[in-house]
Amino acid sequence: MSSHLSSGVKGLDGILGGGMPPGNYLLEIEPGVQELAFVAAYLDEGLRNGDFCVLVVYDMPHEDMIEKLANLGLDIRASLDSGSIFIVDLWSEGKYDSEHTGPILMTDKLSDPNSILRLFYDISAVDQVKMDSGKFRTIRIVTVSLSSQVMNYKFEPSYRMDKLSVSMIRQRKALSLSVFTPKMFEETVGAALEHLSDGVIVLSLKEVKGRFQRFIRVKQSPMQGFYSNEVPYEIMDNKPHLLSAFTEPISTFMNQLKAEPDGSIRLLGSRYLLADKDFVSAVMSYLTSRVKVDIKGAQEEVYNFSKEYGRAKFKEFLASTNIHLDDVDSKMLFKMFAAFFSASGIGILKVENFSDNHVSLKVANCICGGDQVISEAINPYIRGAIAGVAECLFNGQWTCTETRCLSDGGDYCEFECQLVR
């Protein structure tokens, strides 16, 4: 786990399974997703942590790229001078510098794939020198964009170039992120490039109930077992922010599960099996979880586990908002309650009615999706989280039960919270 690097985007590391192991990642984008904010965060993270960064630019001259990044709050000029970042400008033709004395590499034969190949070998040589100097932690590459590369050199030469660069990345244990617009090409092109990548991250812009929202999804992670559902994000202060409080805890929860050789599953440290050998039905994967817990004790354990999580995560959430519970009225409390769960991806939550010792909640678009198996499975998990947050907000000991489920028909799930003492 120690070799994992951060993407620089809060929350993204969580849905990737705990960061980015070295390898090559594809960032699939479409217009309006503001991919440069991700690129800036990624480079910023690298420069801050002593990585040697390589920025390969196909979409615009390097001067424009430097300016764009500066507008996003990342001024790389000092880093260029100090030699901790190199730019490879493949937009404009320029004098080829075989000695690599400057931080900006160009070629005088831009249209020839072989000259690009030569440049790639040069970068690899530079990488080697930089790493040998002992000044850098690792190599962090970003390509903006692979789409332009494919447009310039056609698919096959481009595929060969990528294969070569993947070889280099693997040899050097470097981290590489390539921006790519799949809609520009036939599906087979995107699939081939995905196949070459260790991880695939998809940014999209979608209409949800008449409003457009940006989403991020981990389609493939080099971390075994990890992928994510779509998580909404916003660009705030030029930086991407994932609107999900639960991205981390659920992937962490996944790590608590252990598959036994006979095919059953156990919660680490628990004496209960969550599923037995023949009646296989117990897995929680990230947010698509389906756990059917047929042993009451185990169910209780999942509930308690989740309650702790809910509590801890909500405290974190509060800390990030600078709101003190003592300063707000009860109406505001319930608003925060709802906002937290909506952001967590559990569903759109509405507080129906409440008193000092009782809260009833309606959850539309619940993650159970109306599927009975998933619903039964995930039930202790959601109930636990709700109870945990309720305890955090209203003090005392709370329990939560599900009184109505999407899978019984109807448009929402309903949960009741009760103060025990």
Partner 1 sequence: MADSVSFGIPGIDKLIGGGLLSGSSYLLEVEPGTEELAFIASYFDEGLRQSEVCALVTLDMPHEQMIEKLSSLGVGIREALGSGSMILVDLWGEGKYDPERKSSILMTENVSDPNSVLRIYYDLAMIREAKLKSGRFHGSRIAVCSLSSEIMTYKFEPTYKLAKLGLNLVRQGKTVAIQVANPQMFDETVVAAFEHLNDGILVLSMKEVKGRFQRFVRVKQSPIFGFYTDEVPYDIVGNRPYLLTPSNEKFLNQKRLEA
Binding site for partner 1 (CB under 8 A): 159, 167, 170, 187-188, 190-192, 194-195, 197, 200, 217-221, 224-225, 227-230, 254, 257-260, 262-263, 265, 277, 279-281, 283, 285, 287-288, 290, 292, 365, 367, 369-371, 373
Q: Tokens representing 287?
A: 């947010």
Phi, psi of 215, rounded to the nearest 5 degrees? -130, 150
Q: Tokens representing 238?
A: 């030029």
| String of DSSP letters for 185-208 | S-HHHHHHHHHH-SEEEEEEEEEE
Dihedral (Cα; 254, 255, 257, 260), 10-degree rounding: 130
Minimum gap (Å) between residue 229 Cβ and partner 1? 5
Give whichever of 19 and 103 is closer to partner 1, judged by the CB atom.
19
Minimum gap (Å) between residue 159 Cβ and partner 1? 7
Rounded CA-CA distance 72/109 in Å is 31
Give whichever of 28 and 35 is closer to partner 1, judged by the CB atom.
28
Phi, psi of 148, rounded to the nearest 5 degrees? -65, -35
Minimum gap (Å) between residue 293 Cβ and partner 1? 12
Give whichever of 199 and 384 is closer to partner 1, judged by the CB atom.
199
Minimum gap (Å) between residue 377 Cβ and partner 1? 9
Give whichever of 16 and 33 is closer to partner 1, judged by the CB atom.
16
User: Taking the CB of residue 39, how many other CB atoms lie within 10 A of it?
Assistant: 24
Give whichever of 49 and 372 is closer to partner 1, judged by the CB atom.
372
Give whichever of 66 and 161 is closer to partner 1, judged by the CB atom.
161
Give whichever of 78 and 373 is closer to partner 1, judged by the CB atom.
373
The H or E element that residue 249 is part of is: helix 247-255
Minimum gap (Å) between residue 360 Cβ and partner 1? 24
| Inter-axis angle of helices 113-132 and 155-172, nearest 10 | 10
| String of DSSP letters for 68-109 | HHHHTT---HHHHHHTSEEEEE-SS-----TT--SSEE--S-
Name 26's bridge partners: 178, 200
Rounded CA-CA distance 311/149 in Å is 48
Report CA-CA distances (Å) from 99 to 56, 91, 95, 110, 400: 18, 21, 12, 18, 68
Minimum gap (Å) between residue 262 Cβ and partner 1? 8
Minimum gap (Å) between residue 179 Cβ and partner 1? 17
Alpha-helix runs per DSSP H in 257-395: 296-321, 330-344, 372-394
Give whichever of 36 and 366 is closer to partner 1, judged by the CB atom.
366
Give whichever of 143 and 365 is closer to partner 1, judged by the CB atom.
365
Whether the CB-CB separation of 165 and 198 falls below 8 Å is answered with: no
Minimum gap (Å) between residue 310 Cβ and partner 1? 20
Minimum gap (Å) between residue 208 Cβ and partner 1? 9
